[in-house]
Structure 1
Amino acid sequence: MTDRDALLRLIDDERSRIVQTLCDLIAFPSVVKADPTTAGPGEADCQRYLQARLERLGMTTDLWEPDGPALLEKYRGRPGAHEGRTFDGRPNLAGRLAGNGAGRSLLLTGHIDVVPPGPPEHWNTDPFVPTVRDGRVHGRGAVDMKGGVACMLMAVEFLREAGLTLKGDVVFATVVDEEIGGMGTLAMVDRGIRADAGILTEPTANRIAPICHGILWGRLIVDGIGGHAELTPNSWDSTGPVDAVQLVRHVLHGIDMLNARWRTDPRKNHPLMALPNQVIVTQLKVGEHPSSIAGRGEIVIDVQYLPHEQDALLTGGHVRREIEAHVAAICQSDPYLRKRPVRVEWILDADCAEVPADHSIVTTMQAATRAAGNDPTLDGFGAHSDMGLPTSLGQTPTVNFGPGDPAYAHQPNEQVPVGDLVACTKALALSLMDWCGVDD
């Protein structure tokens, strides 16, 4: 039996430990707060648990609370740099298992923050009491992305237990803040944590995704003129009232027209992405009182962009200006909005990246995933992930690869198949062997 065969058999025989590790992680309610200055109740505890596991493996570790204001000043205007971030009680974690220096290093990374679970009545189980049922692990973070974090930890543990010593270093990093912008990953890269290549274990259904979308969040503010809803208006454009609900409908129609064009625009499509870039309306707030004509409306949008659309700062500046120009054109088509145009406020710009399909980390992973029983066909990660910062700023070409259907992310009754966890752990362990090399 070869070393590889013995390793794969060990993982199959000890699959329950992968499941238990994921259950341990889910039990920490590491919920990211809407207020980025406030720590989630389980963020630090989750990182300390992981730190103890890494140190038992012989890794040197670094647990630190990033300096948000200092990072903002250093990287203002760049991806991941956001106003108002503090990390009190929200530490990042890094570990390094040194090889013998004769091989390439590999970064395994992920985030431990999770989104709030939402109304408890939407769940069939307690979101922070992990449940294993019908071959699946249920709980908040099971797929996004504590499943991936559990797999990358267990891949290293199984390599050690199989008596395999790697030539190259294994670098392990888990961050906070991903779900509200990615400043935790910026802090990781700024800390100097990098490698010759990286794997980000976001859920991809165990498909290798060497590209992700960039994301813009924006707020469109539409001003009408309030008035009594049941009385005859004086004028439609001067003394009012002018219904902001109708104006918002006009803007929404204009967004629909833009999306229709983007569906067939080559600049807005990529062969690895299942869907074209779109402007997705995620929030609406219109009006002030049940019997008053709405005086103001707000439309929150989520806009996707591709790596080839990035500006010189690797942000979505070109796409921001494209949206602003389209909103201005919408306003020109309405007499009232020509005088009181819609205002665009940008909330967040989360960057993107693409690693070439023929890069050695991609081909190495394809061979490893095939050997682990997964489909080696490349795919695109339709949402944003943190792969951009280590790839561009950290000079660590990083791909997405992790267990579970990403459609379960952020949903109630989030879940991941145990079979996905096992297959992912195998693929990661084999990737470490092939990329870093094994010391005879």
Structure 2
Amino acid sequence: MAPSHPDHGSHPLTNDQSAAIDAFLAEREDELLALVSDLIAIDSQIPPHADERQIVSFLVSVLEEANLAEDVSVVGQTPERPSLIARVKGTGGGQSLMLNGHTDTKPVGEAAHLWRTDPHTATVVDGNLFGLGATDMKAAVACMILAARAVRETGVQLRGDIVFGFVADEEAGAQLGSKFVAPLIDNVDAVLIGEPSGWEHDWQGIHLVSRGVCGFRIKVTGTQMHSSLSDRMPSVNASLKLADLMVRIGSELDLPFTPHPLGGVGPTLNTGVMIAGGTFFGVVPGQAEFACDLRTVPGQTREQVAQGIETWLDACRVADPDLQVDYAFEPGLDWIPWSELEAGHPLVAVVTDAASDVLGEAPPLGVFPGGTDAPWFSQQGIPTLPSFGPGTLTCAHGPNEFVSVRSIHEAARIYARIIANFCS
């Protein structure tokens, strides 16, 4: 849980301190890109493709070499899915900040042939660094480490602690990552997550909200039988029934919500993110199902979603007596909560000031399109900013993922200012 300190204001860096931090980072631009490249070279795709053991071991060695490993813990429900928690202690009496990033990536997947470079070899082309996990979110992890080094090695005195939270399993629902780690966190006043904060361009917003994730499947039962008899005997083709439901669910499923004040954002339903059904040629499909990915907004509940699905399916059954349909929530992805940080929280002001100083103008406050690890920390009472990091979400989870080199260097400068001002 977050401790209470008498002083919750920020103490801005002096011009000389900011200049010293920038000079430190400018001298180590190649070193920063090399660290991003080293992280990309380590295969940390979610199982069964890989796991986080090697990347966590590497990060421990990086922190030790940088003298940022005063108090290190490697924790996890299983040895294959470790998370790293490290604390760099301040002088005492100040606010402590966790810098959070996930170490896993989505699989390269069926788009492997569309990559123009080796996914596990960082390659710079036209000012962009390509590689699996480049924007989501190995660049941010590297920037957090270099930023902390810059603050420490330029002599900025911190009263609060810097805490690194480099966690597993974000890409598969966080059950073995932040959901497990968050209850173990103590003496942290706020969390900053470095998820890429743009989708059309870098630094598109300071995101105070991350939408929740709700995964469910619609399952149809038909008549499995010899397909040559479908014109002579009664039969129900489960795949055809399923296709009709897939077309209709987007416009017919009623899920009440209140548009969020930051941009009027509502939920997003992605239908058919996976489809399965049928047995083989010669067989009328007896089973078919499709999966839905629902991104929820503050105020929505799992119970409301369940009621909405049940009400819609009841209406479908009444309209079609031959329809046998049911639904099921996806284990582990049935309800990843949304998260929200109050605009008046001190971390928001510190992030806004740091971004303005480096970028010339602070991005607007907004809602992150996706889900993050934020809810697991906020549910433990730790205020969490869900997304402010280099890169764009648009290229994540697909071929040719990249992060702009410029945004990497900007992120290190921004994070250093955030650390110095929040933890001072």
Scaled by the length of structure 1, the TM-score of the pair is: 0.85
Q: 1:177 to 1:47 in 2, by over 3 A?
A: same
Partner residue in 1 for 2:423: 436
Partner residue in 2 for 1:103: 94
Q: Secondary structure at the match of 1:168?
A: coil
Q: For structure 2, list consecutive stretches of 5 or more residues without a partner in the other structure.
A: 1-14
Corresponding residue to 1:342 among 310, 314, 326: 326
What is the distance in 1 between the residues matched to 2:142 and 2:191?
A: 16
Corresponding residue to 1:257 among 251, 256, 260: 251
- Is 1:368 matched with 2:354? yes
What is the distance in 1 between the residues matched to 2:264 and 2:63?
A: 37
Q: Secondary structure at the match of 2:311?
A: helix
Corresponding residue to 2:298 among 298, 307, 318: 307
Q: 1:178 to 1:58 in 2, by over 3 A?
A: closer
Partner residue in 2 for 1:145: 137
What is the distance in 2 between the residues matched to 1:114 and 1:224?
A: 37
Corresponding residue to 1:321 among 307, 311, 317: 307
Q: 1:230 to 1:185 in 2, by over 3 A?
A: same
Asked if 2 retains the 8 angstrom alpha-carbon contact of 1:125 and 1:131, the reply is yes
Asked if 1 retains the 8 angstrom alpha-carbon contact of 2:53 and 2:81, the reply is yes
Partner residue in 2 for 1:24: 38
What is the distance in 1 between the residues matched to 2:50 and 2:243?
A: 40
Amino acid at match of 2:86: G
Matches within 5 A, 1:34-433: 34=48, 41=50, 43-55=52-64, 56-67=66-77, 87-118=78-109, 119-183=111-175, 184-193=177-186, 195-205=188-198, 206=203, 207-234=205-232, 240-258=234-252, 267=257, 269-272=259-262, 276-281=266-271, 282-310=273-301, 316-337=302-323, 340-347=324-331, 348=333, 349-373=335-359, 375-433=362-420
Q: 1:218 to 1:46 in 2, by over 3 A?
A: same
Scaled by the length of structure 2, the TM-score of the pair is: 0.88
Of 214-223 and 391-400, the range deviating more from structure 2: 391-400
What is the distance in 1 between the residues matched to 2:44 and 2:71?
A: 20
What is the distance in 2 between the residues matched to 1:291 and 1:433?
A: 68
Amino acid at match of 2:243: R
What is the distance in 1 between the residues matched to 2:270 and 2:421?
A: 41
Partner residue in 2 for 1:7: 21
What is the distance in 2 between the residues matched to 1:320 and 1:359?
A: 33
Q: 1:341 to 1:231 in 2, by over 3 A?
A: same
Amino acid at match of 2:170: E
Q: Secondary structure at the match of 1:336?
A: coil
Partner residue in 2 for 1:78: none
Asked if 2 retains the 8 angstrom alpha-carbon contact of 1:274 and 1:382, the reply is no
What is the distance in 2 between the residues matched to 1:435 and 1:345?
A: 40
Deviations 1:308-351 (A, max 9, x none): 113xxxxx3322332232223222221112xx333334332212
What is the distance in 2 between the residues matched to 1:404 and 1:203?
A: 5
Of 53-62 and 294-303, the range deviating more from structure 2: 53-62
Q: For structure 1, list consecutive stretches of 5 or more residues without a partner in the other structure.
A: 35-39, 68-86, 311-315
What is the distance in 2 between the residues matched to 1:274 and 1:174?
A: 32
Deviations 1:72-119 (A, max 9, x none): xxxxxxxxxxxxxxx222211111111111311111011101111124
Q: Secondary structure at the match of 1:242?
A: coil
Asked if 2 retains the 8 angstrom alpha-carbon contact of 1:127 and 1:139, the reply is yes
1:232 CA drift (Å): 4.5
Amino acid at match of 1:280: N
What is the distance in 1 between the residues matched to 2:329 and 2:211?
A: 21
Aligned length: 398
Amino acid at match of 2:284: I
Amino acid at match of 2:341: V
Q: Structure 1 residue runs of 4+, over 6 Å off?
A: none
What is the RMSD of the two structures over their aligned residues, measured on CA atoms?
Answer: 2.0
What is the distance in 2 between the residues matched to 1:59 and 1:187?
A: 22
1:375 CA drift (Å): 3.2
Amino acid at match of 1:62: V
Q: 1:117 to 1:341 in 2, by over 3 A?
A: closer
What is the distance in 2 between the residues matched to 1:426 and 1:188?
A: 28
1:359 CA drift (Å): 1.6
Q: Secondary structure at the match of 2:151?
A: helix
